[in-house]
Amino acid sequence: MSNDGYEIGSHWEHDAVGPGEIIGVETREMMGKEMAMLRFKAEGGEEVLILSERAAEQLSPLLVLDEAGGQRLLAALDVRVPSHALDNWAERSADCRIYAARRDESNQPVHYAPEDHVARVRELAALKRERPDSYGFLEKSTAKIARDRLIQILARSLKRSQESLAAEIDERMGTVR
């Protein structure tokens, strides 16, 4: 996916959310690579961020849900973009879903959901235990973002405080914070 052929205001159809309008096209440099993202508003009003395949590979553990999440994501990836490129994080709904432009083995659009957080947090926790020397800044940032967002989602659905849920998860996973 490149910017070519994607114009703000043009109508387009995404397999997962149906027809709608492209409300933004952004190309960003992340981790030394240029990545394209489409901001897409479906006819039903749902807004999604559609990532290029390269961006999807880099961002697969993360689900960006709000402005703060977007800012944390960009900070974790050390993305240098002008501030005006960030002004629309707040415009998306609180439950914005992220899809990749690519498809999975069953030819369905890839949807990064909260379950991905669980897998990524476990994977990074195992890496931290097994090879503490290789557990770098990006992995720590990614794990923290994924863990914090997962706790926020679970606390809301279980009607519990984030602090008590975090303590219980740490106890069960044997994590020391």
Q: What is the pLDDT of residue 38?
A: 72
Is 17 or 76 the better-scoring residue by pLDDT?
17
Task: Give the mean pLDDT of 106-129.
Answer: 55
Q: What is the pLDDT of residue 83?
A: 35
CA 23 to chain centre: 19
Q: What is the pLDDT of residue 17?
A: 65
| In the predicted structure, residue 66 carries a pLDDT above the cut 50 | no
| In the predicted structure, residue 82 carries a pLDDT above the cut 70 | no
| In the predicted structure, residue 19 carries a pLDDT above the cut 80 | yes
Query: Three-class SS of residue 124?
Result: helix
| In the predicted structure, residue 13 carries a pLDDT above the cut 70 | yes
Query: Considering only CA atoms, which of 112, 108, 96 is closest in space to residue 24?
Result: 96
| In the predicted structure, residue 11 carries a pLDDT above the cut 80 | yes
Q: Are strands 47-51 and 97-103 parallel, antiparallel or unpaired?
A: parallel
Between CA 146 and CA 54 the distance in angstroms is 19
Average pLDDT score over the chain: 59
Q: Are 67 and 89 in contact (CB under 8 A)?
A: yes
Q: What is the pLDDT of residue 115?
A: 47
| In the predicted structure, residue 138 carries a pLDDT above the cut 50 | yes
Q: What is the pLDDT of residue 75?
A: 47
Task: Give the mean pLDDT of 106-110.
Answer: 57
Least confident window among 3-7, 25-29, 125-129 = 3-7
pLDDT grade, residue 91 (50/70/90)?
very low
pLDDT grade, residue 3 (50/70/90)?
very low
Residue type present at position 114: P
pLDDT grade, residue 81 (50/70/90)?
very low
